[in-house]
Chain A
Amino acid sequence: MIETLFSLAFLTQVLRIALPYALAAMGGAITERAGVIDLALEAKLLFGAFAAAVVGHATGSPFLAVLGGLGAGMIVAAIQIFCALRLAADQVIVGVALNLLALGGTRFLLQLFYGEGANSPPVPTFGSSLLGNPILWLALVAAVALPFAIARTRWGLRLRAAGDRPDALVSVGVSPVRTRLAAALVGGALAGAGGAQLTLAVGGFVADMSGGRGYIAIAMVILAGWRPQLAALACVVVALAEAINIQLQVAAVGIPSELAQLLPYFLTLAVLIIAGGKHGRPPGSLGKL
């Protein structure tokens, strides 16, 4: 049991589980840094996973499948921004509505495309080697590049201004709405890639396969004080808990499986109790128009 926890196979497993969480969290972090409450991560993961399955099945290429996931995440982000900023709908409700839409929408499309209720046809994957998986590299690049981009580039400066002082942005002639849209599209693409990983990890789409990961990811964003690299790190810890749980199941330690599966949720709840919503400083204009 202990040896397994230090094996390369276990590390690979942790990273594979962490990818969807971490990508969603980094995507959520940028969207929220630009001032938009991002509760639609679940929808981006789910539509991303579904699009990856459709594209992967149609083309036979896992690379194109990832691009499909990216695109789907961006489309969801665009709809989110349109409803939240152009139509001035409540951002929390828009997020929850999109998640509900994704839950029913992917099942409807599954039925429409493949005549199946719960599973898509098999999708080609990148194989068992994690290093050959471009989604891992995308996540690593994002974890390094995003903090730099946010802190040191003009894009990052505008993004932070859109989140903290949109009026300042207006006064220098930059549209906060456009800045937020750009940030949300990048965030949507990342979360969509996380969705693609969900599908590619098991070689097909399964209804409701995101299973609340989007909500856990956003809790980690809050814990990390809206810093994408720390949010990704927190997600690795969640993944570690999930992987240990799988090992415990294999070792049959006697913890009821129904409860063991809840480990990531208990962990998130603990995080919320300890950190609450007041850890770090949220963007000043988060959720405001």
Chain B
Amino acid sequence: MTDAAMSTTAVKAGGPVNAVLNRLVIIVPYLWLLFFFLVPFLIVFKISLSQTAIAMPPYTPSFDLSEGIGGLLSGLKELSFDNYVWLTQDPLYFNAYVSSVVIAAVSTLLTLLVGYPIAYGMARAPTTIRPTLLMLVILPFWTSFLIRVYAWIGILKPEGLLNQVLLATGIISEPLIILNTYTAIFIGIVYSYLPFMVLPLYSALEKMDYSLIEAAEDLGCPPIMAFWKITFPLSIPGVVAGCLLVFIPAVGEFVIPDLLGGSQTLMIGKTLWNEFFANRDWPVSSAVAVILLLILIVPIVFFQQAQAKAQEQGR
């Protein structure tokens, strides 16, 4: 019998009242999803099928509940998929999606490379200092995200801290141009999202039974091999969770590329901003947002499945 089947039996065994209660408990998250995800999504989706207009709000048709069902139906006829066709006609949107996904993917990989040793070190540290280390990872959140990103401008600019230190120590003779480049964006994303990578990795590594490593070493496995054969595979749920937690928000990131990146950075967040604010084209920007959501749903579903798997394994 599978785990799922077993839990169903358990519910049945608890009697009909319990079953109803269990259902009710499940309804709460569904209501949450309905009101804070599905309803807003449907509104955005509806706007994406509308046309722009010089009006308040700047699109047509806008449904007015006072007009009743008739008004609603005549409005529905005016909706069309023109805006989605428009997105395919200009390579701008495709390029922006691709470049956002690439930037997010590279940043995620870099965050993993930086975050893994940190999480590993934390998990292997003496139990007494682990809470302190955990605190240190969370501590930067106490300062506004915006201010922390802004601080990087001061560090990275040509006359900034980093260049001053490097010039003074004679490592370089000309200031490095880092600010307003892709490098600066990667630094910004890695720095800002590092805790989201470290925390799930830490929780996966901390649960690990290190006697497995001892056993491997006793059997003559070199430490590096033991890491790749035992530690890393056991930490994969943490790696997946961390990567998705970094990748998903990084795709739509707007603030970091705007502050640290150069003008040449084409990302979907900025494209969406342009459509919405500069062109006042709420329908096209809604269409851009809907497509972005579809792109992101793939990794989210993947994440859900990985989580479910991890939970089953944990039982």
Is B a genuine binding partner of A? Answer: no
Interface residues, chain B, CB within 8 Å of chain A?
Answer: none
Interface residues, chain A, CB within 8 Å of chain B?
Answer: none
